[in-house]
Structure 1
């Protein structure tokens, strides 16, 4: 980590240290949608790691560079009225933002009946986020913060002050970690007034960012939500091209230089860890650990931010260990930093698979509450949830494994693109595959845990 990156993370630590105790992400929404996994823990943990390891062995047999390149270069142009779609996106985003402010400040206070709560957590953070990696990233058009601050760009013109790409990525990483912490420890999913105020706060942050570095750089490189959806969108089959839209095989864009700086690597790792952390703090294991830590003298105000930062640093160091080992197993003149940047996008497939596993049942079970709140925002019907079949929880396991299989293939294709020797390319993936197995086992273990209320509400 660079000194500037360390200072950015240190600033986040300082911010977190003065904040309050945890209230638990999800709140009433998580309790309403809880569903235990119907697959024995020992079975999916053992088979999950084995599937990832076996997929690496199978990918190793694909050594025809022309075939690998053909798979990643396949694309079809999709005619689309991009300008009209952009205007529709602007209108939808502004309408949604206004809806959140209206229902958040004056709507019902019950979480499952408040339109702001269900629209943000069910409609946006669950369903819309899924669409960014299952279909394509439409956030640049929908983003209401970008639309509302666009007049500033015309007033300010070109900015003479800008951040280097690496520093911008580190700043975005720090903002993302801060957002993950705030989401987990604040009652955003239970208090609509606070959620509406947070939306206004993010608009204020966006305005300050635009004033500091300019509209284009803020939303292209620094704004954490924009970078997050951009990373998720690189997994999607529909991508933006110079002349419109194009259809590609899922996750195949991940070999196209999606990450170009060490800060970008940190953001990808933070994205993987952030979703993992979000699920981990809702497990019985975390509840037991948290109580034991507080009994041992750890202030509850520091427990959650410390776990967030320690986990991120552990995931970050583990990934860089894999990048260094890639050079040891496959001697090459390519620098470790270059290998780290090239392989990092493969982790985005893992992040997308785990997000889908984490939120699929959640979104489906709470969809009646979403539709009810949208149809009658100020006087919604009594909140309802769908009772889903138990086998649907197994879909979460499948999406985690599918994400890791895509990651294995992307890493394989990246190695063949970056390194000249066939055996060299295969050996460079050894350590990364071990890290992916670790991520797989961790994600599957979290999915298999029953929901537990994080302590110290």
Structure 2
């Protein structure tokens, strides 16, 4: 009977999750973008979500059998290897054709956003739909990346090897690049102006290709913000490419690998990814609209308002995480440095970022997938009035459930990591206290953003 105890505890945790999620679905199922409201006070709704995450930690903490934890983390099946020609030739060709089509139709196609192939492919097909596949299925961007294919092609013809990527740079270029890309996406009408979008895509393409030519393919491993984002999300996915073929694992278990986050720059990149996803949703809330109008009415330029809030929020997210790492050293009674603890416990945040991305873009992708297929079917003469799919009421509830699921997966990964780091069971549990506190706060913020009616950000 003792051997079945951990399994019953995991089932109990799952049952608690179902009950908590059911409450969220029943009371917070309004669709994003509609002027709906939850049926219970907002504070009670948010506390329920935070309590569900806290309770799941308490239940996970009762699972102390290291062999059982390791069996979950290490479970895998090796699937058939994909033909080399697919990843080496076909996938890069698809990426290059897609990149060329975005530039061509962005500069020459219709100016109406939903009728322009560049707009719907970039925002609906790529940033919403394709990004979902990187954490729900597996990261295929390494093979599809057209800029990496160009760099590889150039160095196939050149005799001189690329310059070695400076180790001191780490992932800092990816941090700066991701912050710049997302802020540009928020403040510029890239989704409304196909010409501007094509210019931005071309500019990014030139910059990352030049950097790739300077440092070789190692640039896409550390410095390129888009490649780093998809690689980070790929650690959440159940499928991963290995030397033996394609490996199937349990979702999120790739995050327990210590190589996912290697140094301080990787830690900041993970927190940055979480912050920019949050900020992208934050600026659509009514609270942000009221704040921005008040700030601009007080004499602050609108662009500076957005930028200061962006940088301040980034600083708060990074600062709170490092504070948690500092406190974990005390609660865990360990000689490990805060930097070492921060590095090991950063990867679980990627599950939170993936859950929030899915919640934020699910409705967007489903509604606009019909215009996407209509434009792809006839890009030179798309329909004058593209149709959209309607959404059933339960989709809003699914979005809230995805937020909770992402956080609950992060808790299990953090629990597993703690048992890998600390020899003492008590240390493993206590070390998680500050990080769980951070996750509870992230949960409440994410639920609030997803449940809030979406509004067009003011002044944009």
- Give the alignment's TM-score, normalised by structure 1: 0.90
SS at 2:453 equivalent: coil
- Tell me by how many angstroms 1:44 deviates: 3.5
* Alpha-carbon distance in structure 2 between the residues aligned to 1:437 and 1:82: 44
* Alpha-carbon distance in structure 1 between the residues aligned to 2:80 and 2:210: 37
Partner residue in 2 for 1:451 = 454
* Cα distance change on mapping 1:402 and 1:300 into 2, 3 Å: same
Partner residue in 2 for 1:195 = 197
Partner residue in 2 for 1:402 = 405
SS at 1:159 equivalent: coil
Equivalent pair of 1:323/1:336 in contact (CA under 8 Å):
yes
- Tell me by how many angstroms 1:197 deviates: 1.3
Q: Could you tell which deviates more after superposition, 385-394 or 81-90? A: 81-90
Partner residue in 1 for 2:235 = 234
- Tell me by how many angstroms 1:105 deviates: 1.1
SS at 2:241 equivalent: strand
* Alpha-carbon distance in structure 1 between the residues aligned to 2:271 and 2:54: 21
SS at 1:246 equivalent: strand
Equivalent pair of 2:165/2:219 in contact (CA under 8 Å):
no
* Alpha-carbon distance in structure 2 between the residues aligned to 1:163 and 1:44: 48
* Alpha-carbon distance in structure 2 between the residues aligned to 1:91 and 1:302: 41
Partner residue in 2 for 1:34 = 33
Partner residue in 1 for 2:14 = none
Q: Could you tell which deviates more after superposition, 196-205 or 352-361? A: 196-205
* Alpha-carbon distance in structure 2 between the residues aligned to 1:145 and 1:373: 25
* Alpha-carbon distance in structure 1 between the residues aligned to 2:408 and 2:127: 24
* Alpha-carbon distance in structure 2 between the residues aligned to 1:391 and 1:409: 27
Equivalent pair of 2:325/2:342 in contact (CA under 8 Å):
yes
Is residue 449 of structure 2 the alignment partner of residue 411 of structure 1?
A: no
Is residue 217 of structure 2 the alignment partner of residue 216 of structure 1?
A: yes
Is residue 336 of structure 2 the alignment partner of residue 334 of structure 1?
A: yes
Equivalent pair of 2:163/2:216 in contact (CA under 8 Å):
no
Alignment of 1:246-395 (within 5 A): 246-257=247-258, 258-381=260-383, 382-395=385-398
Alignment of 1:120-159 (within 5 A): 120-154=122-156, 155=158, 157-159=160-162
Equivalent pair of 1:38/1:391 in contact (CA under 8 Å):
no
Partner residue in 2 for 1:90 = 92
* Alpha-carbon distance in structure 2 between the residues aligned to 1:33 and 1:434: 27
Q: Could you tell which deviates more after superposition, 393-402 or 102-111? A: 102-111
* Cα distance change on mapping 1:123 and 1:43 into 2, 3 Å: farther
The superposition leaves residues 102-127 of structure 1 with CA deviations (integer Å, 9 ceiling, x where unpaired) of 21111111111111101111100001
The superposition leaves residues 156-187 of structure 1 with CA deviations (integer Å, 9 ceiling, x where unpaired) of 642344221x5231111011000010010111
SS at 1:247 equivalent: strand
Partner residue in 2 for 1:427 = 430
Partner residue in 2 for 1:67 = 68
SS at 1:68 equivalent: helix
- Give the alignment's TM-score, normalised by structure 2: 0.89
Alignment of 1:40-119 (within 5 A): 40=39, 41-42=42-43, 44-86=45-87, 87-119=89-121
* Alpha-carbon distance in structure 2 between the residues aligned to 1:33 and 1:387: 13
SS at 1:426 equivalent: helix
SS at 2:284 equivalent: coil
Partner residue in 2 for 1:8 = none
Q: Could you tell which deviates more after superposition, 140-149 or 151-160? A: 151-160
Q: Where in structure 1 are there 5+ consecutive unaligned residues? A: 1-31
The superposition leaves residues 381-426 of structure 1 with CA deviations (integer Å, 9 ceiling, x where unpaired) of 1211111112111000000000000000000000000011101100
* Cα distance change on mapping 1:138 and 1:338 into 2, 3 Å: same
Query: Of the two structures, which has the highest relative contact order with CA contacts closer than 8 Å and spacing of 6 or more?
Result: 1
* Alpha-carbon distance in structure 1 between the residues aligned to 2:431 and 2:45: 27
Partner residue in 1 for 2:244 = 243
Greater than 6 Å deviation, 4+ residue runs: none
* Alpha-carbon distance in structure 2 between the residues aligned to 1:39 and 1:128: 31
Q: Where in structure 2 are there 5+ consecutive unaligned residues? A: 1-30
* Alpha-carbon distance in structure 1 between the residues aligned to 2:154 and 2:107: 27
Partner residue in 2 for 1:19 = none
Equivalent pair of 1:92/1:142 in contact (CA under 8 Å):
yes
Q: What is the CA RMSD across the aligned residues, in angstroms?
A: 1.6
Equivalent pair of 1:33/1:365 in contact (CA under 8 Å):
no
Partner residue in 2 for 1:168 = 170
The superposition leaves residues 219-258 of structure 1 with CA deviations (integer Å, 9 ceiling, x where unpaired) of 1110000000000000000011122210000000101011
